[in-house]
């Protein structure tokens, strides 16, 4: 079986190594020609996954047509906001014979498309040929073979099960489910709440505050997700509460880091300029806020994160507004049957 991993960030490199260890013929595609040559020569991803050896058996290339052609599985790990531009030169290429898997998390700005929608739009692939891999899985830990469990979702449950077997091994366990949209949305929206958790840490609030943000934040994720057609149980799984816990709590989390720096008074533009990795939660916050207005859905935490990031509202004023909102029952009757 021939598999291409498209995107040589930390997560893409980790998954390429995992698939190679699982015995598959693996190609790793890097967008930047010079960095692809560096990866090929030194067999180490110095920027995104230092001190982890890339096996010689992994073929590294900068040729996108080569990476896409004649593969059984195409695994997209390019950050969401860069997918369209990264594959513009091969737009419309026939990749219909390949199984398409996304391991990126986000909502495209402007179109509000999830990753599977973007790929389908670029390459005209049927949605039942698409799957996504999502869950609590920091590259820094998976690359060191620390036990990890994630979910693989597809509208075709048989396909999700097949992919689960391909990715699973003694340190990486994959569960399958049939809720593609819910799994993708959970993975994207938890980054917004992770920014909120980071802001809370940076601003000096306590564990109580962060627990409240995570709990009520999951309520918001479910509210928007179910409005868009997701299944409620998905948000109680690995791609939902599991990913939310690790992203809001871990020092590996880029989105929590961005929030923490904001909470300490640093400007967003400065934080992003100094980061090598992409914090998907920043553009996703804008998309989620716009979706809430489009559908008339109340997402108080998401709205406050949006106003802190893009409108100059201070964390303490935002928190005060949240605390002084009108009191209500914990389980709203009209909350899209969440109770």
**Active site members:** 190
Q: Can you tell me the distance from the alpha carbon of 226 to that of 220, in angstroms, rounded to the nearest whole number?
A: 10
Q: What is the DSSP string of 259-324?
A: HHHHHTT--HHHHHHH-SS--THHHHHHHHHHHHHHHT---HHHHHHHHHHHH---HHHHHHHHHT
Q: What is the CA radius of gyration of the chain?
A: 20
Beta strands in 147-272 (DSSP E): 148-154, 172-177
**Secondary structure (3-state) at 333:** coil
Which one, of 239, 244, 242, lies nearest residue 210 by Cα? 244
Task: Give CA 145 to chain center in angstroms.
Answer: 20
Which one, of 251, 247, 184, lies nearest residue 217 by Cα? 247
Contact 198, 259 (CB under 8 A): yes
Residues contacting residue 90 through CB under 8 Å, at least 6 positions apart: 64, 65, 68
Contact 56, 285 (CB under 8 A): no
Phi/psi region, residue 98 (left: phi>0; alpha: psi -120 to 50; beta: rest), is beta
- Residue 45 bridge partners (DSSP): 49
Q: Can you tell me the distance from the alpha carbon of 219 to that of 335, in angstroms, rounded to the nearest whole number?
A: 9
Q: Can you tell me the distance from the alpha carbon of 91 to that of 63, in angstroms, rounded to the nearest whole number?
A: 14
């Amino acid at each position: 079986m021939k598999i291409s991993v498209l995107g040589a960030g930390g997560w893409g490199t980790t998954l390429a190594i995992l698939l190679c260890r699982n015995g598959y013929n693996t190609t790793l595609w890097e967008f930047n020609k010079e960095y692809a040559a560096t990866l090929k020569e030194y067999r180490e991803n110095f920027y995104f996954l230092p001190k982890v050896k890339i096996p010689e058996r992994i073929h590294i290339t900068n040729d996108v047509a080569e990476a896409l052609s004649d593969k059984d599985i195409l695994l997209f790990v390019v950050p969401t906001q860069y997918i369209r531009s990264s594959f513009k030169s091969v737009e419309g290429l026939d990749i219909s014979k390949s199984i398409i898997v996304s391991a990126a998390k986000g909502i495209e700005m402007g179109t509000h498309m999830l990753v599977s929608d973007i790929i389908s739009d670029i390459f005209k692939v049927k949605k039942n040929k698409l799957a996504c891999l999502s869950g609590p899985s920091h590259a820094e830990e998976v690359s060191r073979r620390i036990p990890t469990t994630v979910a693989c979702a597809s509208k075709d449950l048989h396909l999700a099960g097949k992919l689960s077997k391909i990715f699973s091994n003694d340190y990486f366990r994959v569960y399958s489910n049939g809720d593609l949209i819910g799994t993708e949305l959970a993975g994207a929206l938890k980054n917004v709440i992770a920014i909120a958790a980071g802001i809370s840490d940076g601003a000096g609030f306590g564990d109580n505050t962060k627990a409240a943000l995570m709990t009520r934040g999951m309520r918001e994720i479910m509210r928007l997700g179910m409005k868009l057609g997701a299944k409620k149980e998905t948000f109680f799984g690995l791609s939902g509460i599991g990913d939310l816990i690790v992203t809001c709590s871990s020092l590996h989390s880029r989105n929590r880091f961005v929030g923490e720096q904001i909470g300490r008074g640093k400007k967003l533009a400065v934080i992003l300029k100094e980061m090598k990795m992409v914090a998907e939660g920043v553009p996703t916050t804008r998309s989620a806020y716009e979706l809430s207005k489009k559908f008339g859905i109340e997402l108080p935490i998401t709205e406050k994160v949006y106003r802190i990031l893009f409108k100059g509202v201070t964390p303490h004023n935002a928190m005060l507004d949240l605390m002084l909102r009108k009191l209500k029952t914990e389980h709203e009757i009209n909350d899209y049957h969440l109770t």
